A = this chain, B = another copy of it.
Amino acid sequence: MSRANPLYLRDADLRNAMELLFFAYRDFTAEPDSILARYGFGRAHHRVIYFVGASPGMAVNDLLGILKITKQSLSRVLSQLLRGDFIEQKTDKTDRRRRLLFLTEKGRELEALISERQSALIARAYREAGADAVAGFCTVLRGLINEQDRNRFPGE
């Protein structure tokens, strides 16, 4: 593969990648941030809502592993979402220590509102770039992720 596509990586190419990541991430999160601000929430709340929405019934520990933050940091955000009735917890029947997380109707609505915007942004970029570019985009991003979490994504 690397012999079929020999890459002559100049310093400028690598710096280009760093800047693309910075600007893309900056702009990708700008609109969600402004929506969340209307609810008194921040990006941390969105991450929780997003991942709980993607995997309903996940345990608190699973979320900690994804976000890679401390349980104290998560606790603050999670408590606010619980109090605001965006998320609900149910005790796991097979292991009653575990609290399984679900979005409420309200939570699903907020999740959908934000995801719609982000989906639209990505869909536009995807369509403008074409299918081959999209495949490359996913392959490279996947390669930037650590070995463990990389397996969450298809590829190889």
Partner-B contacts on A (CB < 8 A): 1-2, 4-7, 9, 11, 13-28, 30, 47, 50, 54, 68, 115, 118-119, 121-146, 149, 152-154
* Contact A153/B20 with A129-B139, A136-B134, A137-B136 known, Cβ cut-off 8 Å: yes
Given A21-B141, A24-B144, A119-B11, the answer on whether A5 and B131 have CB atoms closer than 8 Å is yes
User: How many copies altogether?
Assistant: 2
B17, B125, B143: the one within 8 Å of A143 (CB): B125
Looking at the assembled complex, report how far the CB atom of A124 sits from the nearest CB atom of chain B, in whole angstroms.
7
25 A-B pairs within 8 Å (CB atoms) are namely A2-B127, A2-B128, A5-B131, A7-B131, A9-B123, A14-B126, A15-B115, A17-B122, A17-B126, A17-B138, A18-B50, A18-B115, A20-B138, A20-B141, A21-B24, A21-B28, A125-B140, A125-B143, A128-B143, A129-B136, A129-B140, A130-B139, A132-B132, A135-B136, A137-B141
